Each structure stands twice: as structure tokens, then as C-alpha cells.
Amino acid sequence: MKLRNIAIIAHVDHGKTTLVDQLLKQSGSFRENQQVAERAMDSNDLERERGITILAKCTSVVWNDTRINIIDTPGHADFGGEVERILSMVDGCVILVDAAEGALPQTKFVLGKALARGLKPIVVVNKIDRGDARPDEVHEEIFDLFAALGANEEQLDFPMLYASGRQGWADAELEGARKDLSPLFELVLKHVPEPGLDESKPFAMVSTILESDNFLGRILTGRVEQGHLKVNAPIKAIRPDGTVVEQGRVTKLLSFRGLERVPVEEAKAGDIVAIAGLSEATIPDTLADPAVAEPLPSTPIDPPTLSMTFRINDSPLGGREGKKVTSRQIRDRLMKETESNVAIKVTDSAESEAFEVAGRGELQLGVLIENMRREGFELTIGRPRVLFRNNPETGEREEPFEEVLIDVDEPYSGVVVEKMSLRKGVMQDMRPSGGDKVRLTFLIPSRGLIGYYGEFLTDTRGTGIMNRLFHGYLPYAGPIEGRRNGALISGEDGQTTAYALDALKDRGVLFVDAGETVYTGMVLGEHSRENDLDVNPVRGKKLTNMRASGKDDAVQLAPPRRMSLEQAIAYIDDDELVEVTPSVVRIRKRYLDPNERKKQARKKQD
């Protein structure tokens, strides 16, 4: 059977996973009566809840006696490490672009990586059925983007289809028949080359995806770059620096058939397979025949740009809600994460029982924390910090910058430009974007965006769309003003009372409701002024003949502002921490004792 390996790449929410659903259905991968979840490739709970792809996944379909291996990739820049590895496994890619939104920052990122690898993309302008679709303009935008990214003559002559992934059709003509996805299948067979790899050499492949299975142990997925592999064959794992990590045998060889992994007896050059049998090998080790001495070249991963401190939960309520609370358990879990997620780096912190975790962005680290929370971990998280570096040639201090693309209604553009400039953002472009919307492009230090997203949604009444992409390291932009408001801090332990909170409502916005357990040093709300304020949220009414307790029931409290995990991490200041447990997210001061806080503040001023 002939073979094709392709990746589907695009900006977040442009319809990759929905299109893969239709490709699976129309190729006959599902029985007619088979129940299949919508966005079948998003199998992870968090992926389904958030409607985003976090992990790259492989599937395969058969069309006209050709097996097409399809890899669905994440669209968020934070998970770019997944996309970079995946492109080394394929010979072609389908790049999806929304017919209304056009080419967005992540489109630029993934396309740049694909062109650099010499791939010749097929362009699919998706969501043609949208009322605000503008296919001709989007076509021009894509061509300009190819040219700006240095595409060669062959790559610039890209084939293009118009499609609706949700309705399950693609067509070369804008007003074509719109029957099914067969034009896309045919174009893949015609435009994407066969792997064309050498089967006569000894077996070798680079591991690009790592998973663990309760029955099979460690499973490494990759594309066979040369030779043949059979079950029970001896193999070894070689690190990129040439050191041999371990030797073993292939206990299980799995190939992709639709959404399932099926055991096979043999794999040859070009096949994408999963191998079980090794216990130490990781990404991006070379798995090879014992006769192979040198590792295969692997794609270098862009460095992390953001770091957070993960600590044990040492609050007065620590250990009550989670099962995994020790620093050893946290360390083991973080080290396990670094094996499968090569974009994350973990080091020991200067603080005791704490670890520095560096990654691509707030979303990527937020997903890791959310997964740990669901697994029963309790931990406290410090404020995100960007990773500075010194320029190797000039010695100048540099920091990561991001390119931010904002679509916003025209009346709100002024406040967005003002806030971005306060955060050291420099406007690169401003143009109309259909209707009464404006598209703004900024270059801004990564630290300027920490904590801004919630403010941005408030300023634009929830209508603004912000997309960001790592641009590179540039000279330090100078100090950026942080959060302007102070915190309302609990000065007592106990349960909050409606009576006490009612007295505090004029002091600022509350994060807690009546009847919640609080402790000294916990942040209860945002003060309406710049300074922090210690308050008593557990004070009860002194009862007398004239003051009955029943009158407490008449107190009407405004609903508290509840923060999600990401919002809390973005909100906190340098002297605050987010306490994360399986059931609740709290904000607290780093030093719970008010006297210790004053002492540390004096030290900082000196």
C-alpha cells in the first residue's frame, strides 16, 4: 500500500480538529452506526472543556489504496514545541486559514516552521460558510505571508481549496459543487510526495511523542526514517549528543488505524509507529538498531520564555483537600512532565521545597497546574517571571518580546492603544478589519502582557480578540507599572460572616462569600486604593436585646469576583502566591504574618 504523511496546522480555532473528524468519517474509518464524539481527536478532558488542542495526535485513513497518516496539531503558540517536533515526521502539510479572520500570528508561526523544513503546504481556506467570509482578500494575505516568510518559487505556487470543515466539503472553485472532501484527498495524493526513505539501511527513528500506558509502560511514537523493524527486535536509544541511554527489545509495535492503535508485526521506512519496550528513552532520542552508531538529527526546540515557582502548600489549610502534598511528589510529577513535554524545563529553586518551572507561556503552565490539581496535588504558585538573557555578542540585557494582533470594535481601540503603550507596547500596524472592527498589531515585552488579558476583556466589553506570538529577544524595555490596587487581607482565622463582609463592601471588590473558611494573610479582595489593608472578615454581630441575630439574614452581599486558575496567576503581585488544591483556588500573601510582611517590605526598600 502507498503511503503519505501529512500534518494539519493552523491558528487556534480555525477548524483543524473538526476537519479531521470529517476526513475520518468520509474515508470510512467509522462504521455507519458508530457513536463518535464531536472533535474526536480532542480526547483529553481539558481539551474538550476549553475547545482547544493541547497535545498533537496521530490518526490514519485509507483513500484509493493509499494510507494517509494525519497528525492533528495544537494551534496555541504556548504548545509550539509540539508543532515543531511533529513537522519532522511528515512530508507535507495542510494549512487551514479562517475565511473571515485570515492569517493570524500562529498561522505565521507554524507556516514559517513548515517552509523552513522545505515542506510544500496545501492551503485550505476554511469556514467559507461564515456570513463575514472574505475568501479573495484572505487568499492575497496568505500569498503575502508566504512571500514575507521567504518561501521559494515552488512553495509560492501553492494549491488552494475552499472548504467548510463543519459541513464536510472542499472545492477548488469558490462556487463549485461543494459535495464532499474528495478534492482534498485527491490533492494530498497528488501534491504530497511519498516518504522516499531508504529501507536497506539498519532501522532508526527519532522519538517525537512520549506517553505512558498502564499495561505497556513507556510508549514512544515517531516516523521510521530508515530500515525495517519487527516485534522482539533488539534496539537501543541514543541521545542527541551520541551517548547510548539503554538497550532493549521491542515488546509491542503499534500502528494507527483511524482513532485506534493496532498491533502490527513489522514497520518499514516512512511508517509512523509507536514502540513499547524501553524504560529510559525520551524525546528526542534516536531509537535504532544496535548497528547504528550516530543519532539522527533532531529539531532544536525554541527556548522557554516564562518561569514560575511551584512550592508545597504551607498555608494553614494545607493538606486538607489534596492527597499529594509533599515536595517529593511534586518533584516526581514535574520531572515526569519534562519527559513528554520538551518545551518545559524544571530546576531546583533557591527556596526550600520549591521548583522553578520554565515554559512557553501562561497557558502552557496553566494547563500543567490544572492537570496536577485534578490529579490530587496541592501546591502554591508564584507570579510568572520572564526569562532575561545577556546578548552573547554585545553583552546587553535582553528580554522576550511578543507580536500581538488584536481585533477590536473601533470605539474600544483608543483604550487598547493606551493600555498597550503603558505596558511598553509599540504599534506596528493599524487597519480596518471588516465591519466596524480594527486590527491592531503591537510589539510588546512578554512581561507587559502578564495579567493584561482580563483587563483587555473588561475594556472591550468581552468583544476583543487577542492573539500573541513569540517574536524574539530584544533590548530591555525598562520598568513597567504593575497592578495599581492593593489587596484586602484577612487579619483573622475562621469563617467569614455576612455582617463583617457587608461592612467591607465599600472598601473594594471581594473574592469571598459569607461562610467561607479564611486564614491570616489570605487575600479576600481588591482594595479600592493603592495600599494593602488588613481587615477582619470573621467579626460577628454583638447580640443584645436590641440587636437580634436574625437581622443578619437581611444583609444583601454582591456576588464575589471568582477567579479561574489562569486569572489568579495573572492577577497576583510579587509578594503574593496562588494556593491551588483539587477543590479551590485561593490567593494569599507570601508572608502570612503581618509583622513579617512589614519587615520584608522594609528590606526591599533598603
Domain with 522 in it: what CATH number? 2.40.50.250
Q: Which three cell numbers stand for residue 404?
A: 500581538
First to last CA, the chain: 73
Residue ranges of alpha helices (H) inside 27-171 are 45-50, 80-87, 105-116, 135-148, 153-156
φ, ψ of residue 241 in degrees (nearest 5): -85, 0
Same domain, 78 and 166: yes
Q: What is the pLDDT of residue 601?
A: 83
Residue 578 forms part of a structural domain: no
Q: Which three cell numbers stand for residue 353?
A: 521545597
Q: Within a domain: residue 120?
A: yes
**What's the rounded Cα separation, in Å, for the pair 427 and 405?**
10
Which grid coordinates belong to 9? 496546522
Per-residue DSSP letter, 181: S
Quote the domain boundaries for residue 443: 391-475
Q: Is there a single domain that holds both residue 176 and residue 90? A: yes
Are 144 and 96 in a shared domain? yes
Q: How far apart are CA 563 and CA 601, in angstroms?
A: 27
Cβ atoms of residues 565 and 585 within 8 Å: yes
Question: How many of the other CB atoms lie within 10 Å of CB of 591?
Answer: 16
Residue 466 and residue 572: Cα distance in Å, rounded? 21
**3-class secondary-structure state, position 96:** strand
Q: What is the pLDDT of residue 270?
A: 87
DSSP strand pairing (122-126 vs 160-164)? parallel
CA atoms within a 13 Å half-sphere pointing along the CA-CB vector of 552: 16
- Burial label for 536, CB within 10 Å (0-12, 13-18, 19+), is middle
Residues 244 and 351 occupy one common structural domain:
no
Annotated binding site: 13-18, 126-129
Domain final residue, candidates 426, 442, 475? 475
Here the CATH number for the domain that contains residue 125 is 3.40.50.300
How much is the pLDDT for 40? 40
Cis peptide before 290 (omega within 30 of 0): no
* Whole-number Å distance between alpha carbons of 507 and 522: 16
CATH classification of the domain holding 228: 2.40.30.10
Q: In what order do the strands lie in the sheet containing 217-226?
A: 244-249, 234-238, 286-288, 204-213, 217-226, 272-276, 252-257, 260-263
Tens of pLDDT, residues 520-571: 999 999 999 888 899 999 988 776 655 555 555 567 888 898 888 888 888 8
Which CA distances in Å does 215 have to 277, 297, 387, 436, 456?
11, 31, 39, 56, 47
What are the start-end ranges of the H helices in 341-400? 362-374
CB atoms within 10 A of CB 292: 19
**In a shared domain, residues 36 and 113:** yes
Tell me whether residue 579 is in a domain.
no
Please list the ranges in the chain whose pLDDT falls under 50.
30-56, 78
102 and 65 in a common domain:
yes
SS3 label, residue 532: coil
Nearest to 524 by CA among 538, 540, 544: 538
Contacts of 458 (CB under 8 A, 6+ apart): none
The reply to whether 56 and 170 lie within a common domain is yes
| Cβ contacts of 495 within 8 Å, gap of 6 or more | 515, 516, 517, 518, 538
Cβ atoms of 284 and 544 within 8 Å: the answer is no
pLDDT at 546: 58
Residue 8 shares a structural domain with residue 113: yes
Question: Is the same domain home to 368 and 397?
Answer: no
Q: Which residue has the cell 507561556?
A: 361
Look up residue 53 and give its three cell numbers.
488542542
Question: Do 49 and 187 lie in a common domain?
Answer: yes
What is residue 34's predicted lDDT score, i.e. its pLDDT? Answer: 42
Check residue 377 and give its pLDDT. Answer: 93
Q: What are phi and psi of 456, to 5 degrees?
A: -60, -45
Distances (CA, A) of 281 to 90, 237, 239: 22, 6, 8
Half-sphere exposure of 368 (CA within 13 A, CB side): 31
CA dihedral 168, 174, 176, 182 (to 10 degrees): -40
Residue type (1 letter), 151? A
* Strand pairing category for 426-432 and 437-445: antiparallel
Residue 604 lies in a domain: no
Distances (CA, A) of 286 to 187, 292, 308: 32, 10, 31
Number of domains observed in the structure of the chain: 5
Q: With beta carbons less than 8 A apart as the criterion, state whether 17 and 129 touch.
A: no
Backbone angles phi, psi at 595, to 5 degrees: -65, -40
Q: What is the DSSP letter of 522?
A: B
- 239 within a domain of the structure (yes/no): yes
- Domain end call among 475, 501, 516: 475
Residues 180 and 63 in one domain: yes
C-alpha closest to that of 566 among 12, 50, 15: 50
CATH code: domain of residue 365? 3.30.70.870
* Domain identity same for 54 and 134: yes
* Binding site residue list for GTP: 13-18, 126-129
CATH of the domain at 442: 3.30.70.240
Is the residue at 74 inside a domain? yes
Q: Report yes or no on 300 lying in a domain.
A: no
Distances (CA, A) of 193 to 4, 116, 188, 221: 7, 17, 9, 21
* End position of a domain, from candidates 386, 420, 453: 386
User: What secondary structure, in 3-state letters, does 553-589 show?
Assistant: HHCCCCCCCCCCHHHHHHHCCCCEEEEECCCCEEEEE
Tell me, yes or no, whether 424 lies in a domain: yes
